[in-house]
Structure 1
């Protein structure tokens, strides 16, 4: 049985440059008892059934740029239902904008590279939407480049599971429709497969992943209850998979889990983990939560 509860305070590592939140907000509700991320990890390594989840939102996509251009109300009424406006790049399963790429590179440098120096996740999960696949590659490559400066002989391969159920709120908005698996693979994964550099990212689709989007509806958009049920299921599946990996390999240390996903997913995760909400998480923002399974 799995019953996941988050420790009461989250740790928003770095306010983003484009954030409308007061810059001090990132530290209003930190983990008050921990001086660093390493301090958090040292603590949870001593506690059974406890893990640190890194919840990273993607950078600005073309749909986010459209919201900025037209405003939230007009976006919801008109543009969210269309594939584009003839000015910006089409935003069905939106790609990152140039601004979004710069955002996630900065997150990779400042958050993962500097604040998490020497610390890598034990497992990595990613939404299948293109903006998340792109975000993952930029952020963790930037971290590797930072680490490489101090370890010239550093070589690293990380395996990433692409998980359908950690997608953004599904339905009606074309930006949240998923491109066919083969198309996103050809665009976001295949070009890097022959890469011979010292840093390798190996994306792997979860078992049963469909070629075409099985979840999207152009007439119905998920409610909070809908997405909460989906995200709770996804978190439990991830937890159980990590437990299985630990049982099969006694040397495996599944304590730090990375999810590259969406604002709606992160807000939903905090709800189902019985955690207080955050007002808004800007594009490329990162939140960390300590999660415990209380059903053991």
Structure 2
């Protein structure tokens, strides 16, 4: 049974995305105009269950509650599908330690924001040796859980160097899992040179296993040296990103390699409690479309990337 009969929605989705992109240069607003009906499902993971203390970074089994298995997660996804409700699992992985993280720790946040974050040496910041080791540990954690029943059908990654490198290490033993890069899950945009990306043409050569076809500009279209993206804007960017992947991708089990700013924005918009996310920490989000038992918003229901 069809849950919706959309008009040509892909054009509407593109227009919606363009409006959010243009809003990066505008003053912060109070309300969001982005249609959004995705909500976090509690009761499966410690990180997002209010009755449980927030665990230390990278808890055992990626934070599954005691007596909860990946089979239980799968049963919930499938069971809700029979009721006409769409549910997907997103595994957010923050990149490993970058040279900019070391610099901020060395000079202090005040001096970092006053001076160092504007220096060219931190442009599209790379992983440190420790960051590489952290990504390797993330790979081990993912491998362990994949053997225990976790599913990952697709990986979506921010096009910044530190996330691309982290993704290739974390999923190094799973070359068959498709990997796509998108602008939407980037770090907070503007001012900090560490958040200005290099050209896609150079990245495509460096990371041939990653599909960059969804990145529409070779040069960075968003970063500016004099304006830092507001929380309101990154919240909207998180909404657009989650909408696009939830409704436009067939996969129901996705890895997302991203940044602390985007992870916090996702937490805010889906109703997940916020806490500090460490470098190379994995945070699971089980998301349910609260509107799907009725009708998916037509602006979001088109076919996107598969």
Shared fold, TM over 0.5: yes
Name the structure 1 match of 2:261.
Answer: 264
Give me the whole-angstrom Cα distance separating, in 2, the residues matched to 1:102 and 1:283. Answer: 11
Name the structure 1 match of 2:274.
Answer: 277
Equivalences for 1:58-77 in 2 at 5 Å?
58-77=95-114
Name the structure 2 match of 1:236.
Answer: 243
Tell me which stretches of 4 or more aligned residues in structure 1 moved more than 3 Å: 8-13, 21-27, 29-34
1:44 corresponds, among 47, 57, 77, to 77
- When the two chains are superposed, the root-mean-square deviation of aligned CA atoms in Å is 2.4
Is the CA contact (8 Å cut-off) linking 1:10 and 1:287 kept in structure 2?
Answer: no
Task: Give the TM-score of the pair, scaled to structure 1.
Answer: 0.76
Is the CA contact (8 Å cut-off) linking 2:58 and 2:281 kept in structure 1?
Answer: no
Shift of 1:25: 9.0
Shift of 1:207: 3.3
Shift of 1:257: 1.2
Does 2:256 align with 1:226? Answer: no
More strand by percentage = 1
Is the CA contact (8 Å cut-off) linking 2:45 and 2:64 kept in structure 1?
Answer: yes
Is the CA contact (8 Å cut-off) linking 2:57 and 2:281 kept in structure 1?
Answer: no
Name the structure 2 match of 1:151.
Answer: none
Partner of 2:280: helix, strand, or coil? coil
Equivalences for 1:1-296 in 2 at 5 Å?
3-8=37-42, 11=45, 23=56, 26=59, 32=65, 35-48=68-81, 49-84=86-121, 91-109=122-140, 111-117=141-147, 119-141=150-172, 143-144=173-174, 157-187=176-206, 189-190=207-208, 202-207=209-214, 209-242=216-249, 245=250, 254-278=251-275, 280-296=276-292
Instruction: Pick closer, same or farther for the CA change 1:9–1:287 going to 2, 3 Å.
Output: farther
1:181-230 deviation digits (Å, cap 9, x = unpaired): 1122233x14xxxxxxxxxxx31124352101000011000110010011
Task: Give the TM-score of the pair, scaled to structure 2.
Answer: 0.74
Residue ranges of structure 2 left out of the alignment (5+ in a row): 1-34, 48-53, 293-306
Partner of 1:276: helix, strand, or coil? coil
Size of the alignment, in residue pairs?
A: 246
Partner of 1:226: helix, strand, or coil? helix
